[in-house]
A and B are shown apart, each in its own frame.
Chain A
Amino acid sequence: MYRVVLASRKTVEWIGLLVVAFLFVFPFLWMASTAFKTMPEVRQFPPTLLPETWEWSNFAQAWESGPFLMFTWNSILVAVGILILQFLTAVPAAYAFARYKFPGRNLLFGLVLIVLMIPGQVIFLPIYVQLSGWGLVNTLWSLILPYAASAFGIFLLRQAFMQVPDEVIEAARLDNASEWKIMWTIMVPMAKPVLVTFGLFSFIYHWNDYFWPLIMTNSDEVRTLPIGISSLHMSDGGTLWNVMMAGNMILILPILVIFFVAQRHIIKAFIYQSK
């Protein structure tokens, strides 16, 4: 009897797990399925689970509805540009916080924590005004510069640098290595897992970002993929759901691929926000 109860509890648990997985995976599968359907099939009732005819041309149609090569290139430039700048500004700052004692350290670190906690959406207007004063609005710089430093990156790297054993640094100093060299050739390699974690976080965040490019740009030459994709549903004469979903597949595929490859790192990166 007990065994039967146990077995049925297990079945219920498995069904529950399947339901949860379904709720979170199915919408994406539905997106993929729609992306391959013809428009009549999209409007069919009851809906078909898999496309009857595979309409690959939806992807071409989405891609050709705007200068998508340029959007993609801009997205890559912005996300990678931000990543490099954040790396260059965060490493020395984190090193200073982790390894030096100096007047004002706690105050300055407090400022970093405030930056970490207050979202940029609150102050986009004055940043727009400022960048337009410098003539940078509607340039890629307006998308990159405001994110050149990352409070989150400093916070994360500081913790990693604090965990490097003192002996390692002492040994390097005995060899007359300069502080600058210790930072880049000893600390950075030792913090590699954290750097990967942070890099993934930053790249995904800026690849996905819609708000900032929407505010700062108004011409296709400097717009990024999310803006290009979002304009797909402005088409007149009924929404072309299949083309829209194909466009969104283009936007999310790189991130999904990265997620499959580096799942553990990515979850860690986003979870780390809390620490």
Chain B
Amino acid sequence: MRKAATVQELPGVSQSKKEVRSQAFAWSDLASRLRPYLYLAPALICFALFFFYPIGSIIYLSFQDWSLINLEQMEWVGLQNYQDLMKDGDFHQVLGNTAVFTIATVGVGLTLSFLLALWLNKKAKVYGIIQATVFSPHIISLVSVSMLWMWLMDPQFGLLNAGLEAVGLPAYTWLTDPKSSLLSLIIVSIWKGVGYNTLIFIAGLQSIPGDIYEAAALDQSPWWRTLRRITIPMLSPTIFFLLIINTISSFQAFDTIAIMTQGGPINSTNMLVYYIYEQGMDFYNGGIASAASVILLILVGILTALHFLVMSKRVHYR
């Protein structure tokens, strides 16, 4: 990712111009030195305004007591918001829900994707079609996916229960029972995400040089040993990348919760981003919401840093 040395350099223009009017004061030289910064300016100004400044701002806001109703009234309360969060049972549950949701979606989702990738990584056209099919939920709005699954999971008229009843199993109240509500969201999330991960895995599998497998075949290595000794180690950058990306994106879960459960029943599906939204936009606890945002920011920041550290050591992927 950071192979800066391969970047093409560009003394070309400025030098040839210099040769032409070498005597004159080098205005053009100054201009060409400034040029890259000018080209970067629009994008960097946007990032400063809508990324870096807000990051500073959220940290500042987390030490204030404030609400969106009256932004004039801000009061410095130090670590009070964080202490309140630590004491808040609901927030503990939110962290727990987020952890369960993340471990389940990432763990099960990636395992399924890996198996699918091993299976679907073939040249014939059918496999390409199935790959696209599995991928298709990924590009559909989570709004539609959520409403579709609400319909499938409808306790009275939903297809899932109709299916269960047809084979003589008891019906579920998928989303309205605190015991199964989080599981329901996990199912939807895995269904939506598995195709993306599968295709990344396939891209990773295809980048493993074929001669390694030929050598393994010559040694008559059984398939599971080939898998354990060659495929998985060679795929480790992809696996690591997907672990990080999936973990970060499951921290972000919001749309499914907002549409399917609103965090309920009894807080069983409330997760970090939804909690922040609720506190900030519905309950007007700006300080609490900001402190929770900072906690989320730290979690995501650690993952991002890990990603850069490992990836810069092992740039295996392109």
Contacts and interface: CB of A to CB of B under 8 A. Distances in A.
Contact of A208 (B37, B46, B143): B143
A130 interface: yes
A105 B286 contact: no
A194 B300 CA distance: 28
Nearest to A14: B126
A270 B300 CA distance: 21
B258 interface: yes
B141 A162 contact: no
Interface stretch (B149-157, B208-216, B224-232): B149-157
A193 B71 CA distance: 46
Interface in B105-142: 116, 119, 126-127, 129-142
Given A17-B130, A125-B286, A248-B143, A267 B277 contact: no
B144 A251 contact: yes
B159 A47 contact: yes
Given A24-B136, A230-B143, A98 B245 contact: no
Interface in B216-275: 238, 241-242, 245, 248-249, 251-252, 254-255, 258-259, 273
Interface of A is mostly: helix
Interface stretch (B77-85, B90-98, B289-297): B289-297
A114 B139 contact: no
A184 to B, nearest CB: 12
Interface in A140-192: 145-149, 151, 154, 162, 166, 169-170, 173, 179, 183
Contacts, number: 278
Contacts of A118: 51, 55, 297, 300-301, 304
Contact of B166 (A27, A46, A207, A271): A46
28 contacts: A20-B116, A23-B191, A25-B136, A92-B38, A97-B40, A98-B8, A100-B35, A100-B39, A101-B10, A108-B44, A111-B52, A117-B308, A118-B51, A118-B304, A119-B300, A123-B293, A124-B277, A126-B55, A128-B280, A130-B49, A130-B54, A149-B44, A162-B6, A210-B141, A215-B281, A229-B143, A266-B139, A271-B199
Interface of B: 1-2, 4, 6-10, 12-13, 16, 32-33, 35-40, 42-44, 46-47, 49-55, 57-58, 61, 68, 71, 116, 119, 126-127, 129-144, 147-152, 154, 156-157, 159, 162, 166, 191, 195-196, 199-200, 203, 238, 241-242, 245, 248-249, 251-252, 254-255, 258-259, 273, 276-277, 280-281, 286, 289-290, 293, 296-297, 300-301, 304, 307-308, 317-318
Given A25-B133, A208-B139, A256-B140, 18 more contacts: A17-B127, A27-B149, A28-B136, A31-B151, A47-B162, A90-B43, A97-B7, A101-B7, A101-B10, A118-B300, A118-B301, A125-B276, A126-B53, A170-B12, A209-B141, A210-B142, A210-B143, A251-B144
